[in-house]
Structure 1
């Protein structure tokens, strides 16, 4: 059975028809061609598919696309500020918070949500904020350093902050 859904993805209103069994991650990647969100485990274990749904980090591999009807969705493609990369993206580059890159999109989104809620987290808060996002390459220290760098250089960033603020406005 198909459902028409209306969502705002990365600030753009999208109305699409989705099968009732279609997962959000597949809708984003295949229907909307936003391939930055990765499919890692299909069981919500790794966090590579993390997106923000109404400002909450959400593992899109376990959410039906039809269930986000009326929501705002932010993917890794929506993190960049108008002038370039967000502070979180710049932090991952500056502090080498990635290696193979597979988990990076989910880490970036989760870190953005963390910094929107906690602009100056300590290392423990960063580790807790990224809990549920697995990196098999880095050992996490450079990821923590990347998020700390971002906190010191602009936090969540303008695009993400605007998205999160809009999601929090009463309907």
Structure 2
């Protein structure tokens, strides 16, 4: 796939994922949360040029920094997502303004890394960015799934019919949106 197509795919996936997360979304109990990140990672790793052959050390350091940044963004996004459980045991999530700030900071960091790579003379492809997006989505999805398990009521009919939610005490109530 060409670099332009990879970039378009990255932007499309990021736009869809980000837009969907700012509406209330039910977190499913299926175990397939890792499929989209895995597909993105395979697509990124099958492309040549993830590491610039003329600047292997610098390119490897940039890729490692990109992956650590992606891991931090995924974790930050997951921990700034509001989650709650309904009386029927369904767990819902919705990204917050803090999650948007995490994304903005991540984009700035990635632009900075791209600038550093350009200054050093490293040829950069969109594969590293796609791999970073895969890591971000994998970490976020994994953490949300893990957090959702702690919110699901162990026994139906808990006291007052409601389990605690991350973000309780937030001033305004969030409306559940159904798709």
Normalising TM by the smaller chain, what interval? under 0.3
> Larger C-alpha radius of gyration, 1 or 2?
2
- Structure whose residues are more often helix by fraction: 2
- Structure whose residues are more often strand by fraction: 1
TM-score, scaled to structure 2: 0.24
Tell me which of the two structures has the higher relative contact order, counting C-alpha pairs closer than 8 angstroms and 6 or more residues apart.
2
